[in-house]
Amino acid sequence: MKKPLNGIRVLDLTNVLAGPYCCHQLVHLGAEVIKVEAPKTGDLARQLGADERLNKKLMGISFLAQNAGKKSITLNLKSPRGKKLFLQLTETADVLVENFRPGVMKRLGLDFEELKKINSDLIYCAISGFGQSGKSSDQPAYDQIIQGASGLMSITGNQSSSPLRVGFPVADTVGGITAAFAISSALNANPRGAFIDVSMLEALMSSMGWAVSNYLNTGVEPLACGNENPTSAPSGTFKTSDGLLNIAANKNEHWIALTDHLDLPYLRDNPQYATREARKINRKKLKKELEEKLKKQSAEKWAQELNCLGIPAGKVLTVAQALQSKEISESNFLTEYTDVPGVQRNLKLVTTGIKLNGEHPTAANPPPALGAHNEEIFNGVGVSSVELKELKRQGIV
């Protein structure tokens, strides 16, 4: 299958998650992604993850998660020779992605204004916590900082547990997806050449559109509602005989079908539940009445029955259970690489949440060891293998 970004070369100067995740999307869509890393240490994510042995080998699980299919080179961008090599690489590139703190690339003499002099078609994407300008632009910003700054933590959890961090690095991930979308769009421009400024804060708040819009246009400040859907009721999690069940009876026909199936049609005659707004106001009392019935059988059984009636429902799963579900295990969403260099065992990784012509786009190769592609890439810009050995001795690569 020919992928949409075949023939596109990306220089990936990013670390940890937002930038690497952006380039993870691009490589799955066919781009050649060259990961430019610091000699000896590489991406910090190489030292992060649940397997301490792999962290010491600079193949940490956190790195493996979003670097499949990339090519790794090492290069000291602070050295004159390293800069010269980088400029040669930039001439061959379509895209450059970096997530340094604003100002770092300018101090290196490698900012967009300099690089476009040698490659006017270059698409330069800078990902940062607060964007490239403004009073907070130079502040360090990891995922948790952005979650707090966006207001997201204030609406996560319930009234007793909020503010609460979302359980995965959602700000980094949304920032990365936003950057990949912007880059893909810029590649369609004619002529090419653009500076893309991705603020993780703005990207995350953009994804919070419903909560933000309610406040902006009605003055109603969003609250932490826990597992309840504030826009409808009954819509949230409900206790069953063996665990929690999600039910989203968001339409009136769902409400009618649900009360009929639970043999509770009389609830519809109760003024407290007669309308959508009334059910939202009295959701706690309504939940108790529904759970008296729902506790009589398993979440899985209820999910099957309710879905057959067109009522959206599903058992609340752990990550392990989700990975073992038919929806995931039978969809080719996961890719397995055998005997991965630097890992010395098989490795399973997620792909992307899209299919092209019925297939998940996958990366042909596993995540690379640090500097694994030095010879291939540097030979391509005229550096001989003999010279490469000398550059390595000098700490330039």
Q: Which residues does the annotation mark as catalytic?
A: 172
Same domain, 87 and 184: yes
Inform me whether the pLDDT recorded for 290 exceeds 90.
yes
Strand partners, 73: 36
Residues near 285 by beta carbon (within 8 Å), at least 6 away in sequence: 272
What does the pLDDT read at residue 16? 96
- For position 135, what pLDDT does the model report? 86
User: Is pLDDT above 90 for 140?
Assistant: no
Please write the tens of the pLDDT for every residue from 84-96. Answer: 999 999 999 999 9
- 157 and 19 in a common domain: yes
What CA–CA distance (Å, rounded) separates 262 from 264? 5
Asked whether residue 130 falls in the same domain as residue 20, the answer is yes
221 lies in a domain? no
pLDDT at 1 exceeding the cut of 80: no
Domain co-membership, 176 together with 285: no
pLDDT for the residue numbered 51 = 95
The answer to whether the beta carbons of residues 83 and 77 sit under 8 Å apart is yes
Q: Are strands 235-239 and 123-128 parallel, antiparallel or unpaired?
A: unpaired
Residues 239 and 312 in one domain: yes
316-341 confidence digits (pLDDT tens): 999 999 999 999 988 889 999 999 99
- pLDDT tens across 148-194, in order? 999 999 999 999 999 999 999 999 999 999 999 999 999 999 999 99
- Domain check: are 308 and 353 in the same one? no
Model pLDDT for residues 81-137, shown as the tens digit of each residue:
999 999 999 999 999 999 999 999 999 999 999 999 999 999 999 999 999 998 888
> Has residue 335 been placed in a domain?
yes
Concatenated DSSP letters of 278-296:
HHHHTHHHHHHHHHHHHTT
CA atoms within a 13 Å half-sphere pointing along the CA-CB vector of 295: 7
Domains contained in the chain, number: 2
Q: Give the end of a domain, one of 255, 290, 316.
A: 316
pTM of the model: 0.93
Interval 199-232: pLDDT, tens: 999 999 999 999 999 999 999 999 999 999 999 9
- Helix 170-186 vs helix 18-28: angle between axes, to the nearest 10 degrees? 50
Find the CATH number of the domain harbouring 299: 3.30.1540.10
Same domain, 53 and 140: yes
Please report the pLDDT score of residue 141 as a whole number: 87
Closest alpha carbon to 188 in 29, 358, 19, 351: 29
Is residue 197 domain-shared with residue 342, that is, in the same domain? Answer: yes
The mean pLDDT value of the chain amounts to 95
Residues 14 and 101 in one domain: yes
> What's the domain range around 311?
235-316
pLDDT tens digits, residue range 4-60? 999 999 999 999 999 999 999 999 999 999 999 999 999 999 999 999 999 999 999
Same-domain check for residues 162 and 37: yes
Q: What is the pLDDT of residues 339-391, one digit of tens each?
A: 999 998 999 999 999 999 988 899 999 999 999 999 999 999 999 999 999 99
pLDDT confidence of residue 136: 87
Which tokens in the block code for residue 269?
């005659």
Q: Both 18 and 74 in a single domain?
A: yes
Query: Do residue 68 and residue 178 come from a single domain?
Result: yes
